[in-house]
Amino acid sequence: MAARRRVAITGLGLVTPVGNDVAATWAALLACKSGGAAISLFDASGFPVRIAAEVKDFDPAEVIGDRKLLKFANRSHGFALAAAEQALADADIRPMPATGNRWGCAVGTGMMGVDFAELVAVHEHSAAGGELDATRLLTDASANNPLVFCRSQSTTGLSLLTRRHDIRGYATSVHTACASGGQAIGTALKLIRRGAVDYALAGGFDSMISPVGIAGFCLLSALSVDNEMPERASRPFDATRNGFLLGEGAGFLVLEEWESARRRGAHIYAELAGDGNSLSSYRITDSPPDGDGPIQSMRQALADAGATIDDVDYINAHGTSTFMNDRSESAAIRAVFASRVKDVAVSSTKSSMGHLIAAAGAVEVAICALAIHNGELPVNANLREQDPECDLALVRDVPERRRVRIAMSNSFGFGVSNSCVCLRRPDAVDGAGFRA
C-alpha cells in the first residue's frame, strides 16, 4: 500500500483588523494590540453595538492592480485577493499554463452576499406602496447594476481567485459559518492527499460589518456592548466577557505535496497533518455545554494526524468571548486532554482581532503555522479575571516561548459545525511517522 501523501504549508497571506499582511498581523498579536474601534464603515449611532474590528487603510487595487477584475469584487473579495497574492508570493510558486490543472482552490466564504448600500439602492427604486417596479429594475441602469448580482453570488470569491491565478483543478466554496475557513483548509488537505491536485490555494474571507450584520448579531445578543472600551471588548475566557467583537478579513495558505515542496527547496512552515469535523446537533447558535461536538472534531483531527494528546503543545482556541462558547470549548479541551490539560498552552487570537466569522479558521490556522515556525505563542489578550469554568493553561500577559510539535486550531460555527485542524512541526516527522 502506497504511503499517504503528506502536505506542506509553504505560503501564508493575511489581511486582518490588526495588520494588512503577515508580518504586521504577527507583530500586533505578540504586542497584544487590538483591532477594536468605533465603527467607521457606516453610521452605527442608532445601534446598541457601535464597535467592531475593521480592516484599516486597505485598498485592494494597491495589491492587485487589475481594476477590471476588481469591478466584480465586494469588500471581502478584495481581502481574499490580497491575502492570496501574499501567500503565493511567500511560497514563491504560482500556477502556470502547464500546471494549472494540478492546482486546486478551496475557500471558506461569508454569509453576506449583497452589500447594504446595494440593498438600499434597490429599496429606493421601489414604487409607492412598497412594491418593486420590476420593469424599471430590469431596464433602468440607474436602478440596478448587473455587477451587483455578480458580486452577490456565494461562489464569486472562488471565481475571482481561480481566474486571477489560472487555477484549473478542483475548486470549491465552503459555507459553514464560523467553521468555513478551517473546513476549506481541511478540504484542500484531502485533495492533495488523494492525488486530485499537487498544490492548493486554501483559506477564507468575510466581512459582516454592515447594518445587516450588526443588526443580526445584536438580535442574537452575541456582540459585546462595551462601546466605551472597544480595545477590551473581546476578552475570551474572562469572567466578565459579554460577547464577541465582530471582525473582518482574510487568510490564505499555499499547500503543496511534501516531496514536491522539498525538491524545489521551498520554505516549509509546518506540515498540515490532520483534519476533524463534526456536528453537535444541539442548538443553531450554541455549542453544547459538555463540548460533545468539539470533542469529536479534536479527536478526529489527532487521529488523522497520527498523533496523541502527548504530542500537542498549543491550541489556538475558537474562543469567541461569548459565555456559552468559551465554557463549551473549555469542557471539550478538558475532556480530550484529561490529565495533560494544564500542559497544553491555549490562546484565542480573537482577543486581538475580533471574530472574523468565515475567515476566522483560515487566519487562525496561519497563526498556528507562525507559532510553530517562530517558537512563540500569542497572548490571550485582555484576560484579567479567568473564568473558573475555563480552567485552561491560557497564555496571558506576554507571549510564551515554546517549541511546538503539534498545534491545533479550533473553529466552531453557527449551525454547530465543528472544525479542528492539526499542524505539525516540519522536523518532527521522518519517513516512519511522528517523532518528538
Pair 284, 202: CB distance under 8 Å: no
Angle (CA) 421-410-227 rounded to 5° is: 145
**Catalytic site includes residue 178:** yes
Which residues make Cβ contacts (< 8 Å) with residue 428, sequence separation at least 6?
Answer: 405, 406, 434, 435, 436
Catalytic residue among 77, 165, 175, 355: 355
Beta bridge partners of 224: none
Which residue in the list 105, 165, 175, 178 is annotated as catalytic? 178
- Cβ neighbours of residue 211 closer than 8 Å, sequence gap 6 or more: 42, 44, 47, 116
Phi, psi values for residue 117, rounded to 5°? -60, -35
Which H helix or E strand runs over 353? helix 350-353
Q: Any idea what DSSP says for residue 77?
A: H
Residue 192, all three cell numbers:
492533495
175 carries an active-site annotation: no
Contacts of 111 (CB under 8 A, 6+ apart): 175, 177, 206, 208, 213, 357, 358
Q: Which of 39, 277, 324, 284 is nearest to 179 (CA)?
A: 277
Determine the Cα–Cα distance for residues 173 and 187; give it in Å rounded to an integer: 10
Nearest to 56 by CA among 248, 220, 238: 248
What DSSP element (H or E) covers 347? Answer: strand 345-347
Q: Cβ-count burial of 218 within 10 angstroms (0-12 exposed, 13-18 middle, 19+ buried)?
A: middle
Catalytic annotation, pick one of 77, 318, 373, 422: 318
3-state helix, strand, coil in the chain (%, to 5): 40, 20, 40
Task: Identify the CA nearest to 255 among candidates 69, 107, 403.
Answer: 107
* Total number of residues shown for the chain: 436
**CB-based contacts of 229, cutoff 8 Å, min separation 6:** none
Active site residue 218: no
Query: Which amino acids are annotated catalytic?
Result: 178, 318, 355
